[in-house]
Amino acid sequence: MNEPCLLDLSKAALVNRYLAAYPPVISEHTFTNLFAWRETKPIHLYETANTLIFLAKTGICRNDELMIMGPPAGKLNLAEVFRELGDRVIGGIRLTGTAVEGVANGSYLINPDPDNSDYVYLVRDLAELKGRAYAKKRSQARQCRKHYDCIFEPITTDNLDECENLLARWCHSRDCAGDPGLHGESRAIRTTLDHFTDFNLLGGAVRVDGTIEAFSIGERLNRDTAVCHFEKAMPEINGLNQLVNQWFAKYCLTGFKYINREQDLGIPGLRQAKESYHPDHLVEKFEVLRDSVAERANIKPIRNI
């Protein structure tokens, strides 16, 4: 590639080949995630020197400027990528600590991005909900099974339409049309459901009194880690969120040690919910900006995070 090109369905084999050779740790780096969110978060690809670079435009970008999105997949490190792409690339987002080490002593501002840190859990913990730490979660899931006829089933071509129906009902209850964030998410989920079999995804649904009322969708991220992209449960059914979370881990993630359940986006309620499941560790992320760009945008170093 001589110029960055927009990611589309035709790039699936290219992206998957690089991510298989250089397994990612951040939740953003699956073709599913990149493709599903392409309408609200367009991604450009640039291939050079046996390295695939993901590029995105953020609010700080001017004209044709771009930001590297996540660590490069391949031979080149971040400093080499900056040199390769020149001034058109003004920085990077969703970068791991390992990725930013190479530019730590250069003319760059490096800030932590805690709102986008990924929460990573032991699959065993979520599947079993054992011990005092999970007593409330265990009780909530048990109460759901006690008051409703709950059955787990894998997502297949036979029930994809029912999952889309659940999404429509969930969005109606939350007024997705009036919330840009939820509207964008619902479009990403519909895209994911449309390509569920094409992308070799993992999915589980909970049928409550005969109707699918919850589902989880994920896939392999790397050798020992899966990633959960989306999880929805009808809010009026108490304990259903806890039950679909548990059953997805129990029935869909056999063979994985960890499950990456993505970030909290700095939303207090979401952060509390993710912390309540006691993550094994976080995948911390950083933002890098060229000094000149940080200066023009009046962005200062962040301390004590």
**Helices 135-147 and 240-252: angle between axes, nearest 10 degrees:** 100
SS3 state of residue 136: helix
Please give the pLDDT value at position 188: 97
Please give the pLDDT value at position 303: 55
Please give the pLDDT value at position 7: 97
For CA atoms 238, 243, 248, 251, the dihedral sign is negative
Please give the pLDDT value at position 304: 42
Indicate whether 254 pLDDT > 60.
yes
Indicate whether 45 pLDDT > 90.
yes
Q: Provide mean pLDDT across the span 293-299.
A: 88
Structure tokens that stand for 282 in this block: 């976080």
Higher pLDDT, 34 or 87: 34
Measured distance CA(146)–CA(103) in Å, rounded: 55
Domain regions of the chain by residue span: 5-117+284-296, 119-281
Instruction: Give the Å distances, CA to CA, from 236 to 53, 141, 152, 219, 233.
Output: 43, 14, 19, 28, 9
Structure tokens that stand for 23 in this block: 């397994």
SS3 state of residue 55: strand
Q: Provide mean pLDDT across the span 56-66.
A: 93
Eight-state DSSP code of residue 238: T
- Picking from 217, 200, 210, the residue whose alpha carbon sits closest to that of residue 164 is 217
| Confidence (pTM) | 0.95
Q: Answer yes or no: are the C-beta atoms of 102 and 84 closer than 8 Å.
A: no
Measured distance CA(174)–CA(153) in Å, rounded: 25
pLDDT cut 90: percent of the chain above it: 91
Residues 119-281, CATH architecture: 3-Layer(aba) Sandwich (3.40)
Please give the pLDDT value at position 1: 55
Indicate whether 302 pLDDT > 90.
no
Q: Answer yes or no: are the C-beta atoms of 32 and 219 closer than 8 Å.
A: yes
Indicate whether 255 pLDDT > 50.
yes
Q: Which one is the CATH code of 5-117+284-296: 3.40.630.30, 3.20.20.190, 3.40.50.300, 3.10.180.10?
A: 3.40.630.30
Q: Do domains 5-117+284-296 and 119-281 have the same CATH topology?
A: yes
Tell me the pLDDT tens digit for each residue of 106-126: 789 999 999 999 999 999 999
Measured distance CA(105)–CA(10) in Å, rounded: 38
Q: Provide mean pLDDT across the span 88-98.
A: 96
Tell me the pLDDT tens digit for each residue of 152-192: 999 999 999 999 999 999 999 999 999 999 999 999 999 99
Burial profile 174-189: b = 16 or more Cβ within 10 angstroms, e = fewer: eebeeeeeeeebbbbb
Banded pLDDT at 305 (limits 50, 70, 90): very low
In sequence order, what are the beta bridge partners of 212? 207
